[in-house]
Structure 1
Amino acid sequence: MKTNDQINNPLLSASNLKHEAIDFPKIKSVHFIPAVEFHIAEAKKIIASIRDNSAPPTFENTVEALETADEALGIVTSVFYSLLNAEANDELNEIANELGPKTSAFSNDILLDDKLFSRIKTIYDQKDQLQLDTEASKLLEETYVNFTRNGALLKGSDKEKLRKIDEEKSRLGPAFHNHVLKATNSFELIIEDEGDLAGLPESSVSAAAHAAKEKGYRHAWLFNLDAPSFVPFLKYADNRELREKMYLAYSSRAFEDDFDNQDNVKKIVQLRNDRAQLLGYKSHADYVLKKRMAETPDQVFAFLKRIYEVARPAAEKDMRQVQEMADSLGGPPLLQPWDFAYYAEKLQQKLFDFDEEELRPYFKIENVVAGVFLHATKLYGLEFKPSDEYPVYHKDVKVYEVYDSNNKNEFMGLFYTDYFPRPTKKGGAWMTSFRDQGLIGGQLKRPHVSIVCNFTKPTPDKPSLLTFREVQTLFHEFGHALHMLLSKCRYTSLSGANVYWDFVELPSQVMENWTLEKESLDLFARHYESNEMIPADLTQKIKDSDRFLAGYHTLRQIHYGTLDMAWHTADPKNIRDVGEFERMALEDKVVMPMIPGTSISCSFSHIFAGGYSAGYYSYQWAQVLDADAFEYFQEKGLFNPEVANKFRTFILERGGTENPMDLYVKFRGRKPDPDALLRRSGLS
């Protein structure tokens, strides 16, 4: 029987709103821990009944039953971590410190249960006789492997070691994230001399004036480390001293300051390595890559080396051209990191007669959103209907009901959008879900999906006008959302984006390709004042400039992928200093001088507070897939229904129910051509 506190806790029972939407305004911070504890207790009862079942173990009474045992807990934790990333406060950060160890201990209680594993192993050993369909076979395999990769075969004392490692590890990720957020928010550049704004576009100046006014400054301009403020400042501000100040503030976040992450980095790496070795792997990278398309660290290093060898000469040429541009304008004889974007922009204007600021008026956010929806309609028959009846966690959030017009207007899911930066939101852009698609409560349920970004905000006198890179980011995250919304699987653990990590970026990265095509841009790129379609010469300049600095940008990605692999293949006992380790790992990969007092690792949330440890290479890996996939669309037509249906059927609907390479071959008719990426970037 529930207590009064439990009755008043909206996280303890299914929502009674339409489509069981999350009732965000009713959720208070104090609800999370009681809800997690309640759902853990309920799940333990279900799992005990599975474990102690006197009937012989079967797929249905053990594996399938276990799949749904903690479904309610999963929804609560999904909501919590979504809010922690998008609407954080000190209370939620404190709760994260408590919640992580609770869910980690619960997970270990399941995965280290000898009796439960014995039932699963019995079924797994009989798998060839069970005549399971493809998805059920995959669930059985994944369940068995999940147990063995998480300690089921360990003996008593080693199981306790694993528990302690996981408990400590569960605290460190949120702590790292919190330090980065606080370090980012702690810096502001207040400009009071209008002369210091020279070079900055009107959009940046207007946004900075509005930001200053909101903070109570009179006749001033406020710049911060959010991307819409920071990126144009480095690209356009004539004042080199202020560019340096902004760069150093951004690049030293959570490094040797009040929110220093160096200890967190070293502890996380040590714990990951200890865990991997306890489970019989040489390193954390070996452990991770066992469940990736790349399979081994050697294959990742070989992949990165191949791309590096092609990109390095092109990057050096790019650097020479930018330096020559700086020389012609009386710039510094040796470019520093805070100079590169500034002079690269000057070079781009010279080579292509093109300033990206010219594009902003054609990318009003409402038009871009309508455009990305239209792409989903033309490719997959999806319709997005805005609705005000769903509660949200912030006034900026909008909600859409998604329907499939190609299939009797079937409801496909709820889609949430949250586009603008605020102090409570971490930087970057991401897709998340409050509920995945699959069996929930014994019924197939549709997903509730959200994309969260940090785009240029509207001001009182101007709407949100996106940069072209922001347009590409929106298409990218929307691709992830489509992976979730179009999922047609039975089991949530295999649905949507629950795929190999080096496959997960294919649906997102392939969407970016449409932003470079005139046929696509003509659908939505219209001037926010005149409603004129984007001129053909501008769309051609977008296409022509796409390969600009391709070598440099490719090498930067190799730079990050190499650092990630270095952290997760090295012996942590030999790492004394974070900055020195970075310098050694990247000494032959740097594209710009490494500046004392700065650090990549201490704010590298992808690998220390996200899911990309020993996986950052996957962005480049997926680019091979998406370049090859998009060539198929280009051959047949950008919105060719046959190709779109194949991509939907074999990539977007199947989730992780089959081997990703098998799914890709079903879509493409062959394995991906590695040279497709080099052709697209002009590096072949």
Structure 2
Amino acid sequence: MSFQQLRLVASAATVALALTTAGCSKQHQATENSSTSAEVAASESAVTEANPFFETWGTPFGAPPFSRIKTEHFLPAFEKAMAMHKAEIDAIATADSVPSFENTIAQMELSGAELTRVARVFYNLTGTESSEEMQALQREISPKLTRHSNQIQMNEDLFKRVKAVYDNRNQAMLDAEQLRLLERTYADFVRAGANLTPQQREKLAQINERISELTTAFGQNSLNDTRNFTMVLEESDLDGLPQSLIDAASAQAEARDMPEKYVITLQRSSVEPFLQFSSRRDLREKAFNGWAMRGDNDNEYDNKAIVAEIVQLRADRAQMLGYEHHSDLVLSNTMAETPEAAMELLSKVWTPAIAKAEQERQWILELMKEEGAEHEFAAWDWRYYAEKVRKARFDLDQAEIAEYFELENMIEAKFYVANRLFGLTFKERDDIPVYNEVVRTWEVNDAQGNTIGLFYGDYYARDTKRSGAWMSAFRTQQKLAGEVKPLIINNMNLNQPVEGEPTLMSYSDAVTLFHEFGHALHGLLSNVTYPTLAGTSVPRDWVEFPAQLYEHFIEQPYMLEKFARHYKTDEPMPEALIERIKNAGTFNQGFATVEYTASALVDMAYHRLTDASDIKVREFEDKILTEYGKPEEIIMRHRSTHFGHIFSGGYHSAYYAYMWSEILDADGFDAFLEAKDIFDEETAKRLYDFIYSRGDTLDYLEAYKGFRGRAPTTDALLRNRGFD
């Protein structure tokens, strides 16, 4: 198991871009389920005989045989895999040989393969097929994994061998990829506490284990509080809603056995369009407050105390490791390198975003006055009136646009771009096991017809699935253990229509679909030897670049004309509508940028603290954002109590990365525009050679220069957001 994989497993986050974890406010449940181990042990022999994790999978491409995998299989599989991994590591650490790259670093990369296999299946399922049983098991497994990780990361004999190889690196005649892996492995050990005293390492291990418990609790609370809310509507409550949203709300009600009712959930694909179109202000307020207050309802799923404790523990850990605060620790291994660099970018964007948001606010107030609105302008009004302004000023109706964005066409569109850029083809398979009947799979082939991996698409929201959209993997690419082909998955949370009806998407959903597929291609096209350096195993402010660059393709007129087709008539989107979309391209960017940047600023504020002992979440958010002059009618895109990116995922002190990567993607896509061909072959080849296939084998700035021919500038970012 690579060191990177070990950290991901130990943190019980996702094995990709941000799954959830387990339990503080649910400690009583962990106690109630404390018999799980004993029960499993009692039937160990029976489970072992039938446990699919104890055998080689004979499925196509060695894909997980989901129909055979049961919840009770995971604990014995984890325990056996951890024991195997420990034995492998002990053999490396105590070997009677002169430490070398091959007998130490390469062997570490090969170790823990079984643990990786089990963990990737388990943590993907906890994010998509959660249940009380899975959540209880997750709370039990997470601290076990953290202890296992601590034992390896703080193994003195193992570190002595790693350090010996590192100290001899200049005489070892390593190739560039080997040298980068060695330097990263050594740095990871140091950052994990290898140079601390035994007493300090013990304390650090306790901190790591507690953080694992808390992040698990945070993620489960967020999921449970989200699905705890439903807003049931009658026919008379549907004023203003487009038919696609009405149909989706009807499908949600039918799934809950509520005939002739309509249900709005707190999934973004449900609540955002409701806030955008519903003319019922009282219901908008109810939906908005439910959405904004997830994890902050002073109930069993409340996350405020968890947030405070996580922030304090992260600060303590950073200081133990010799850093001023957690942000220093995290950003020391990123493209930005320092918190000051990240803050400089956020400040550069914040000021023009505030100005543009104020302009948008004035437009809304003018329209409200024209309509004779007597109520004050509030946060639950912004999306509703912004949509009216969009229609009045740009003759653009989002409901009309959605009629041209049908899921099947958009899937075809994202595959088309991958074919034009990289020669990839996608063949849908119906013989690959899946964990839910809505999941689809495609075999991915390169231009020579060679299979490079499998792609899974899980596009629909459900109560067992966490919110948002993300890319993950059941297996990542490598060559060290042979030609290992990746199994990559994209998750979204679209409203599932009633059977036989098309899945209509907002324009924003279509962009997100392309974004996540950009991540998927980063995993599928990976062409490296060592798993630690493969695919998306790169810093947060670099990993978003390939995904955000891919978004630009669906925005191009050529793509809209070809794939944005009316779901009833199959007529292409009219040129006049495409032009109106282009003209309105920067509308409401003030709102969107303030919403996002507010979350990034609060993230940085939390993780630059050295003492968080008296932190109160609501007051902290208000204090930070008041100091920055945030408009009252715009809230954080992710409030702290449901900010999974930073409290149950890997973006803590790194949420700025989306904006940092936007510098790269905006400037980078200009390379295609300058070539006057969005599929220019030479530009696409450089994109493959230096970005999508390279993983973490090259310095990030050098990789960008190899693709673009120069360092990036912020000009395109400011232009694209209307801030130039």
**Equivalent residue of 2:460, what SS?**
coil
Match of 1:155 in 2: 197
Match of 1:450 in 2: 489
- CA-CA distance at 1:571 after TM superposition: 3.2
Distance change >3 Å, CA 346–CA 540, structure 1 → 2: same
- Is residue 223 of structure 2 the alignment partner of residue 221 of structure 1? no
**Equivalent residue of 1:523, what SS?**
helix
Return 447-456 or 183-192, whichever deviates more: 183-192
Match of 1:586 in 2: 625
**Which aligned pairs between 1:101-140 and structure 2 lie closer than 5 A?**
101-140=143-182
Match of 2:91 in 1: 49
Residues 235 and 345 of structure 1 are in contact (CA less than 8 Å); yes or no, is this contact kept in structure 2?
yes
Distance change >3 Å, CA 518–CA 597, structure 1 → 2: closer
Match of 2:10 in 1: none
Which of 645, 658, 664 is the matching residue for 1:619? 658
- CA-CA distance at 1:132 after TM superposition: 0.8
Distance change >3 Å, CA 397–CA 683, structure 1 → 2: same
Match of 2:465 in 1: 425
- Is residue 606 of structure 2 the alignment partner of residue 567 of structure 1? yes
Match of 2:416 in 1: 374
- CA-CA distance at 1:670 after TM superposition: 0.5
Cα deviations across residues 272-325 of structure 1 (Å, max 9, x unaligned)?
Answer: 111111111111111000001111111211121111123222221122112212
d(CA) in 1 for partners of 2:279, 2:537: 46
d(CA) in 2 for partners of 1:286, 1:242: 43
- CA-CA distance at 1:574 after TM superposition: 4.6
Match of 2:5 in 1: none
d(CA) in 1 for partners of 2:669, 2:115: 38
- Is residue 673 of structure 2 the alignment partner of residue 668 of structure 1? no
- Is residue 274 of structure 2 the alignment partner of residue 249 of structure 1? no
Return 95-104 or 415-424, whichever deviates more: 95-104
Residues 252 and 597 of structure 1 are in contact (CA less than 8 Å); yes or no, is this contact kept in structure 2?
no
Residues 276 and 387 of structure 2 are in contact (CA less than 8 Å); yes or no, is this contact kept in structure 1?
yes
Return 75-84 or 201-210, whichever deviates more: 201-210
- CA-CA distance at 1:590 after TM superposition: 5.3
Return 624-633 or 566-575, whichever deviates more: 566-575
- Is residue 694 of structure 2 the alignment partner of residue 654 of structure 1? yes
Match of 2:477 in 1: 437
- CA-CA distance at 1:196 after TM superposition: 2.2
d(CA) in 1 for partners of 2:670, 2:344: 25
d(CA) in 2 for partners of 1:177, 1:293: 28
Distance change >3 Å, CA 73–CA 299, structure 1 → 2: same
Match of 2:215 in 1: 173
- CA-CA distance at 1:368 after TM superposition: 0.8
Residues 252 and 598 of structure 1 are in contact (CA less than 8 Å); yes or no, is this contact kept in structure 2?
no
- CA-CA distance at 1:598 after TM superposition: 12
Which of 262, 280, 285 is the matching residue for 2:304? 262
Residues 24 and 391 of structure 1 are in contact (CA less than 8 Å); yes or no, is this contact kept in structure 2?
yes
Q: Which has the higher contact order (CA 8 A, sep 6+)?
A: 2
- Is residue 721 of structure 2 the alignment partner of residue 681 of structure 1? yes
Cα deviations across residues 35-59 of structure 1 (Å, max 9, x unaligned)?
Answer: 1111111111111111111110110
Distance change >3 Å, CA 103–CA 594, structure 1 → 2: farther
**Equivalent residue of 1:412, what SS?**
strand
**Equivalent residue of 2:493, what SS?**
coil
**Equivalent residue of 2:541, what SS?**
coil
Match of 2:498 in 1: 459
Which of 71, 84, 88 is the matching residue for 1:29? 71
**Equivalent residue of 2:502, what SS?**
coil
Report the residue type matching 2:295 in the other structure.
A
- CA-CA distance at 1:564 after TM superposition: 0.3
Match of 1:645 in 2: 685
**Which aligned pairs between 1:365-514 and structure 2 lie closer than 5 A?**
365-405=407-447, 408-439=448-479, 442-460=481-499, 462-514=501-553
**Equivalent residue of 1:438, what SS?**
coil
Distance change >3 Å, CA 142–CA 595, structure 1 → 2: closer
**Equivalent residue of 1:385, what SS?**
strand
Which of 587, 595, 602 is the matching residue for 2:641? 602
Residues 158 and 278 of structure 1 are in contact (CA less than 8 Å); yes or no, is this contact kept in structure 2?
yes
Which of 206, 218, 232 is the matching residue for 2:273? 232
Which of 653, 669, 672 is the matching residue for 1:633? 672
**Equivalent residue of 1:454, what SS?**
strand
- CA-CA distance at 1:249 after TM superposition: 0.8
Cα deviations across residues 565-619 of structure 1 (Å, max 9, x unaligned)?
Answer: 0111123435331111111111133544279999811011111011110000001
- Is residue 552 of structure 2 the alignment partner of residue 540 of structure 1? no
Cα deviations across residues 494-551 of structure 1 (Å, max 9, x unaligned)?
Answer: 1100011100001111111112111112231112222211111111122111110222
Residues 252 and 599 of structure 1 are in contact (CA less than 8 Å); yes or no, is this contact kept in structure 2?
no
d(CA) in 1 for partners of 2:192, 2:128: 30
- CA-CA distance at 1:232 after TM superposition: 1.2
- CA-CA distance at 1:216 after TM superposition: 2.3
Match of 2:26 in 1: none
Distance change >3 Å, CA 597–CA 396, structure 1 → 2: closer
- Is residue 596 of structure 2 the alignment partner of residue 554 of structure 1? no
Report the residue type matching 2:180 in the other structure.
K
Report the residue type matching 1:304 in the other structure.
L
**Equivalent residue of 1:152, what SS?**
coil
d(CA) in 2 for partners of 1:594, 1:322: 11
Which of 120, 123, 142 is the matching residue for 1:100? 142
d(CA) in 2 for partners of 1:128, 1:577: 50
Return 91-100 or 614-623, whichever deviates more: 91-100
Match of 2:25 in 1: none
**Equivalent residue of 1:682, what SS?**
coil
d(CA) in 1 for partners of 2:164, 2:372: 74
Report the residue type matching 1:202 in the other structure.
Q
Report the residue type matching 1:495 in the other structure.
A
d(CA) in 2 for partners of 1:668, 1:136: 25
Residues 552 and 591 of structure 1 are in contact (CA less than 8 Å); yes or no, is this contact kept in structure 2?
no
Cα deviations across residues 416-469 of structure 1 (Å, max 9, x unaligned)?
Answer: 0000000000001000001110146x2120100000100131223521111111
Cα deviations across residues 614-666 of structure 1 (Å, max 9, x unaligned)?
Answer: 00000100000000001001111101111011101100000011111110011
Distance change >3 Å, CA 91–CA 588, structure 1 → 2: same
How big is the alpha-carbon RMSD for the aligned residues of Structure 1 and Structure 2?
Answer: 1.7
- Matched pairs, number: 679
Residues 285 and 614 of structure 1 are in contact (CA less than 8 Å); yes or no, is this contact kept in structure 2?
yes
Residues 420 and 454 of structure 1 are in contact (CA less than 8 Å); yes or no, is this contact kept in structure 2?
yes
Report the residue type matching 2:545 in the other structure.
L
Report the residue type matching 1:550 in the other structure.
Q
**Equivalent residue of 1:444, what SS?**
coil
d(CA) in 1 for partners of 2:170, 2:638: 51
d(CA) in 1 for partners of 2:542, 2:551: 16
Distance change >3 Å, CA 67–CA 413, structure 1 → 2: same
d(CA) in 2 for partners of 1:187, 1:87: 19
Report the residue type matching 1:402 in the other structure.
V
- CA-CA distance at 1:4 after TM superposition: 4.9
d(CA) in 1 for partners of 2:496, 2:78: 35
Which of 110, 113, 120 is the matching residue for 1:68? 110
Cα deviations across residues 219-256 of structure 1 (Å, max 9, x unaligned)?
Answer: 32221111222111100111111100100111111113
Match of 2:565 in 1: 526
| Unaligned 5+ runs, structure 1 | none
**Equivalent residue of 2:232, what SS?**
strand
Residues 255 and 599 of structure 1 are in contact (CA less than 8 Å); yes or no, is this contact kept in structure 2?
no
**Equivalent residue of 2:185, what SS?**
helix
